[in-house]
Structure 1
Amino acid sequence: MTHILLAVDDDEDRARVSAEDLAELKWGDGVTVTVLHVFTDNVEGANVSQIGSAREARDILEASGIEVILDETSGSPAEEIIDYAGEEDIDIICLAGRSRTPAGKAVFGSVSQSVMLDSDIPVLFCPTSDL
């Protein structure tokens, strides 16, 4: 069985692209995707099922016959994604990126870049440059 972690933020277009890319790959039988949203500031007490990007990804994956779990955590996104993947015995992490200038990366950081550099688990990066 293959367990994939699809990390999504609030952007529904990026979640859609990632889910479509995952659904197109030939995983064989026994694949489960956990769609994870990391809350950085959740003062209203929302849960992952209220996040449009998580629902969008879930719907696309389920329509492709893939078993989906929705989950959430709170904290620093890159750290939480890596920690979650290690704790849940994830086989591969999937995330979408967005184009940023080098200065933008230096000032704002890049969750995708941090996960790719710091994770011991393989990372599937789904570029979204066409959005």
Structure 2
Amino acid sequence: MYHVLLAVDETESRAVAQANAIIDLSEAKADVRVTLLHSFTDNPSGASAPQVTGVRRAKDALEAAKIETDIVEASGNPADTILDVAEDRNVNCICVGGRKRSPAGKALFGSVAQSVILTAKRPVLVAGEGQR
């Protein structure tokens, strides 16, 4: 079984695009398992990851495609958290969301995505915000 860590933030369109990128992997329905991760940097209301819209929408898309999912929440620096959870869960791949950038900024990803790409010891899949 191929295990993907899907790191999502609050952005609904990006979370759905990331889920769709995983759904589009060959043989995803039969052999892929996804751990959804949301890392809180500030959570004064005490929300849990399943209450985050991006997490719910990604989970719904994956489950509609019959892909096994579970949800993990953490707090702290998002890039460090993603890398720690990937290591702890021994995932095969990390999926992060890319952001739209100006022409000058296209060479750079968001700071979290860029940090994960440059530091990860496993493949990183970057999905944009485009929707089907």
**Scaled by the length of structure 2, what TM-score is found?**
0.88
1:129 positional shift: 6.1
1:9 positional shift: 0.4
Partner amino acid, structure 2, of 1:24: D
- SS of residue in 2 equivalent to 1:73: strand
1:121 positional shift: 1.2
CA–CA distance in 1 between the matches of 2:79 and 2:130? Answer: 21
TM alignment of 1:1-131, pairs within 5 A: 1-28=1-28, 29-101=30-102, 110-128=111-129
- SS of residue in 2 equivalent to 1:72: strand
1:27 positional shift: 3.2
**Scaled by the length of structure 1, what TM-score is found?**
0.88
CA–CA distance in 1 between the matches of 2:22 and 2:55? Answer: 14
- SS of residue in 1 equivalent to 2:91: coil
CA–CA distance in 2 between the matches of 1:4 and 1:65? Answer: 15
Native 8 Å contact 1:94 1:124 kept in 2: yes
Question: May I ask how many residue pairs the two structures share in their alignment?
Answer: 127
- SS of residue in 2 equivalent to 1:86: helix
Native 8 Å contact 1:98 1:129 kept in 2: no
Name stretches of at least 5 consecutive residues in structure 2 with no aligned partner: none
Partner amino acid, structure 2, of 1:90: V
Partner amino acid, structure 2, of 1:14: R
Name stretches of at least 5 consecutive residues in structure 1 with no aligned partner: none
Native 8 Å contact 1:99 1:129 kept in 2: no
- SS of residue in 2 equivalent to 1:13: helix
- SS of residue in 2 equivalent to 1:10: coil
Native 8 Å contact 1:19 1:57 kept in 2: yes
Native 8 Å contact 1:4 1:31 kept in 2: yes
CA–CA distance in 2 between the matches of 1:126 and 1:59? Answer: 17
